[in-house]
Structure 1
Amino acid sequence: MPAGDIDFTVQTLGKRTVTSPLAPLLEARRTSAHTVEEGDRILFDDTLSSFERREEGHLPSLEAAGPRQKIFFDPSKTRVGIVTCGGLCPGINNVIRALVSELTTHYGVRRIHGFRSGYQGFIPEYGHDVVDLTLESVDGIAAQGGTILGSSRGQQDIGQVVDCLERMGISTLFVIGGDGSMRGAQAIAAEVGRRDRPIGVVGVPKTIDNDIPFLDQSFGFQTAFSEATRSIRSAKVEARSAPGGVSVVKLMGRHSGFIACYAALAQNDADFVLIPEVPFVLDGPGGFLECLRRRVDTQGHALVVAAEGAGQELFTEADAEGGLVDASGNKRLQDVGRLLRQKITEDFAAHGRELNLRYIDPSYVIRSVPANPYDSVYCTRLAHAAVHAAMAGRTNMVVGRWRRRFVHIPIELAVGTRNRVDPNGDLWWSVLEATGQPVSFGEESESIEVPAFGGQ
């Protein structure tokens, strides 16, 4: 979809009539190259050719994040809810802590509630308690992995969720989660709108795979690929320490290979990187297995880094185990790690080659660690932006960073597509240069269309 056809308009609950507690600070703030006035917008395009292709006077732009002079909610009468949903990711606790700190310290909100175990926490039949979040209760949680509120997957009854918000007098709900969780937040906002209730829904999008569009980067991603380098380093030692040594490291990345690419470049030990965006052929002349054997012949060992979603074109529906979709409604992936182990073992045996195969899958170890300093800062700034947006009455939106500026993004856009590695982009080209692997294995693979606003 061309950017000019995208509606970047963010929904609001109503007119802002309350003077913000931050107004005195904003009045003293001077304009500079690093500030964005609250009425200004962030241009979508960043190249001259993009500007030239636009119709005259039409420049797509996003609403700038940040504090406003006037806000919608009266902080003294505001009650806030926070929920964390989906899989774990480094930095969730950092977001929770920063939300509570900003709401309490700068806006004076005194009633902040955390809902346990994701969207289950709103449903009476689960019996989960609600925790009061204070500065004292969130002190030190940033050093912990996971989420102090717990999490869960799967859909819940949206009507019951909104019933709970109304019973508790919640003014704004902050949702920290991935695309499935954001679709739930979108449904909550829609139900609130049908009931004509002044309840805001603001998302802080979480995906360790870095696959949310219109974001420079998702929180937790830097920590994830940094931790992944440890496994790559160990796998390299294992491979080169044994005759015919081959190590396979499977990293997270259901539909996008960003972690595999960045981790491989950071450690620069990988001989092959396999990602979902670039289909590959296993057998035959020029196939992956032949290239792997040649690399082992040349240097005595080889290291393969594979994203979990790589090679799905090699499976059929008959290979599916446990159904075609998971509890979150996502397509259930087949195990490319198991396939690679099997095929590599069979291929080396068929060619009479010695093989010492090592397989490492650090996924659950990586996603449960605390955020590194970069992600810790990023999470804090995202949380601040989310609070400013919520207090200003923004709803049905997520916060993110685009072109290094913090912005508001309608949830519909955040869940409408995926950010993916562009097979023709400079990131994948850097991977090819670093590994020395061929552009394609076997017959030329069909190219994948990547939207202009996605991919790196």
Structure 2
Amino acid sequence: MRVLYAQSGGVTSVINASAYGVLDEARKAGMEVFVGIHGVTGILKEHLLKINDMDIEGLKYTPAGAFGSCRRKMKTQEDISKLFDVIEKYKIEYFFYNGGNDSMDTAWRIAQEAKTRGFPLKVIGVPKTIDNDLPYTDHCPGYGSAAKYIAISIMEASLDLRSMYVDSTRVFVMEIMGRHAGWLVAAAGLGWLNGIGADIILFPEVYFNKEKFLERVDEIIRKKGYCSIAVSEGIRYPDGFFVSDMGYTDSFGNRQLGGVGFTIAGMIRSELSLKTHVAIPDYLQRSGRHIASKTDIEEAEMVGRTAVRLALSGVTGVMITIERKSNNPYTVEYGTVELNKVADQTKYLPEEFHDDFEITENFVEYAKPLIEGELFPQFRNGLPKYTIFREVEEQ
């Protein structure tokens, strides 16, 4: 039996824990295990790595895509046919694609092609995204750790602001990833569990009202002297236009966003004459493994293991889901959903999780278990010891 695993889309701090779950479970089942380097882009080039005799234990502690990711969408029948040429050449029987919305679309297309050809290929989608916007699953591996990173970062930055505001910066703005869904920016409010967090949160689900926003900033400044703001990169005006974007699209046709933090800061400086500082965590928020959530790490591994177990039982054409059974104590079970139901769909932050500028207790109850616990990597020379496969750099 031969397995092919690959990573796709924006990476997370725990995607490699899912990789470890898939690869270790497959090896234990006596399979020959291959990895596609840089997702389907590498598979189309026959850039595969056999990992049966490799040490993969460090994957559980390593952020980002250890085997390389990609943002390639299988748009044409030519691409699909070429991919199957490789799959047939290497006699692959099981394919696990680890990614988000667009990746589930790719997995679905591959599953459909296998069905059309009568080819005995089992295809399972392994979810990951810091955006937490995949439908039919309570949450996604990668989100809990990114949420924890955001919550801690805004806490620490707000403490810095609180120290200096008397005759220095009065407003701090953090620009946070999240094109359409506000799950990640909402995490900036979790710091209030321990006494300090974002004073204002700008969600992509709430149309941006400049006047109302500036009134709230002014109100908070008058009340306590400083204001900490978390803004989603995807906030829009009522006419649907992004408050800020880079002016071009990526390979999936998505508008490239960025710079909204500086746009918001400019409004504050111009209208309220307040000294403002901006921070953009960017890659840091999705690859901050040093402070990752233990819950997230363990669940990421389990979705990988579950994918292999189900595929071996004959399941195909599905994505693994996480189903929450209880908050106290926090318990989950693992299920499935058909890939075509997930492909290119978005799960938005529910209205009961936020108001105009703040999160609600419902969101706190939802998110708190997902950021619990720590499972630190080993440190060497005062720095985390991460696993780096040099084969990924060979083209």
Summarize the Cα distance change of 1:379–1:433 in structure 2 as closer, same or farther, 3 Å threshold: closer
25, 29, 53: which is aligned to 1:102?
25
Quote the offset at 1:263 in angstroms: 3.1
TM-score, scaled to structure 1: 0.70
User: Helix, strand or coil for the counterpart of 1:122?
Assistant: helix
1:34-433 matched pairs, under 5 angstroms: 78-105=1-28, 107-109=29-31, 111-124=32-45, 129-134=47-52, 136-156=54-74, 157-240=79-162, 241-243=164-166, 245-267=170-192, 268-283=196-211, 287-311=212-236, 313=238, 316=241, 321-323=246-248, 325-333=249-257, 335-349=259-273, 355-370=274-289, 371-403=292-324, 404-415=332-343, 417-423=345-351, 425-426=352-353, 428=355, 431-432=358-359
Quote the offset at 1:428 in angstroms: 4.8
Summarize the Cα distance change of 1:335–1:311 in structure 2 as closer, same or farther, 3 Å threshold: farther
Summarize the Cα distance change of 1:89–1:301 in structure 2 as closer, same or farther, 3 Å threshold: same
Quote the offset at 1:188 in angstroms: 1.1
Quote the offset at 1:427 in angstroms: 5.2
TM-score, scaled to structure 2: 0.81
Q: Which has the larger radius of gyration?
A: 1
Q: How many residues align?
A: 342
Gaps in structure 1 of 5+ consecutive residues? 1-77, 350-354, 435-456
Distance 2:237 2:313 in 1: 44
Summarize the Cα distance change of 1:433–1:211 in structure 2 as closer, same or farther, 3 Å threshold: closer
Distance 2:243 2:228 in 1: 30
Quote the offset at 1:218 in angstroms: 0.3
Deviations 1:362-390 (A, max 9, x none): 12112113343211110121112101111
Deviations 1:117-162 (A, max 9, x none): 11111223xxx63111226431212111112210111224122112
Distance 1:309 1:356 in 2: 24
Residues 6 and 97 in structure 2, CA contact (< 8 A), matched pair in contact too: yes
User: Helix, strand or coil for the counterpart of 1:431?
Assistant: coil
Quote the offset at 1:328 in angstroms: 2.4
State the percentage of identical aligned residues. Answer: 27
Quote the offset at 1:312 in angstroms: 5.1
Q: Which residue of 1 aligns with 2:389?
A: none
Distance 2:228 2:85 in 1: 53
Matched residue type, 2:16: N
Matched residue type, 2:233: E
Distance 1:248 1:201 in 2: 43
Summarize the Cα distance change of 1:273–1:318 in structure 2 as closer, same or farther, 3 Å threshold: closer
Quote the offset at 1:108 in angstroms: 2.0
Matched residue type, 2:302: R
Distance 1:402 1:433 in 2: 22
Distance 2:222 2:358 in 1: 22
Gaps in structure 2 of 5+ consecutive residues? 325-331, 362-395
Summarize the Cα distance change of 1:134–1:401 in structure 2 as closer, same or farther, 3 Å threshold: same
Residues 134 and 140 in structure 2, CA contact (< 8 A), matched pair in contact too: yes
Superposed structure 1 runs of 4+ greater than 4 Å apart:
312-320, 426-430
Quote the offset at 1:114 in angstroms: 0.5
Distance 2:241 2:138 in 1: 34
Residues 308 and 336 in structure 1, CA contact (< 8 A), matched pair in contact too: yes
Quote the offset at 1:84 in angstroms: 0.3
Residues 154 and 191 in structure 2, CA contact (< 8 A), matched pair in contact too: no
Residues 235 and 248 in structure 1, CA contact (< 8 A), matched pair in contact too: no
Matched residue type, 2:106: G
Residues 252 and 307 in structure 1, CA contact (< 8 A), matched pair in contact too: yes
Matched residue type, 1:108: G
User: Helix, strand or coil for the counterpart of 2:267?
Assistant: helix
